[in-house]
Amino acid sequence: MHFGQVANFKTNSKLPIEKFPIAINSNLKSSIRIKSAEEVDERFHSRLSCKKKTYRYVINNSKYGSAIYRNLETHIPVKLDVERMKEAVKYFEGEHDFKAFKASGTSSKSSVRTIYKAEVIERKDERIWIELTGNGFLYNMVRIIAGTLVDVGLGKIKPEEIKDIIESKDRQKAGKTLAPQGLFLVNVKYE
């Protein structure tokens, strides 16, 4: 799910810019909504001009899960050690080669990325948010990092082992790729 998705296109339309969301939404499925529109420089590219993205992965860590939100979160009924996860997530911050955290078949030439902020947030509603802000992400990178942090929460990986997993560049040493349910693009920054 995307809260902060940005797209751009060129048009010769005479429609005032503030009318674009209404006009576009009237032609879209109800599962997609345009919230705002603005004119930008012709050189702007919604993907290539991006400086920072924030992704959130939502884990429902309750005993029974949720019927209503089942498609918007991943349910893990085994209690996770959130304090160990909080310790482990900090190892992802900084510039690293995230080769161990990319899906096979990723077309990116380089797997070096910078994570500016990495957090595990324990909520009162028995949900755990894993939030990563970085300059870019490899295919499935957030879901693999989340899977690795779940392994930390289950006691399968020690927090300090994250550093070695990153340095190994070995996908087999990282955790499994968690399901897409629970992954949200929260924010995109261009400054």
* Whole-structure pTM value: 0.89
Dihedral through CA 17, CA 36, CA 180, CA 67, nearest 10?
A: -130
Map out the domains of the chain as residue ranges.
Answer: 1-48, 52-189
Mapped onto helix, strand or coil, the DSSP state of residue 130 is strand
DSSP 8-state code for residue 2? B
Structurally, at CATH architecture level, domain 52-189 sits in 2-Layer Sandwich (3.30)
Q: What is the pLDDT of residues 2-42, one digit of tens each?
A: 677 888 888 888 999 999 999 999 999 988 889 899 898 88
CA 50 to CA 137: how far, in whole Å? 12
Rounded to an integer, what is the distance from CA 46 to the centroid of its chain?
Answer: 17
Rounded to an integer, what is the distance from CA 130 to the centroid of its chain?
Answer: 8
CA 153 to CA 129: how far, in whole Å? 13
Q: What is the pLDDT of residues 41-88, one digit of tens each?
A: 888 888 888 899 999 999 999 999 999 999 999 999 999 999 999 999
Mapped onto helix, strand or coil, the DSSP state of residue 127 is strand
Element (H, E) at 84: helix 82-89
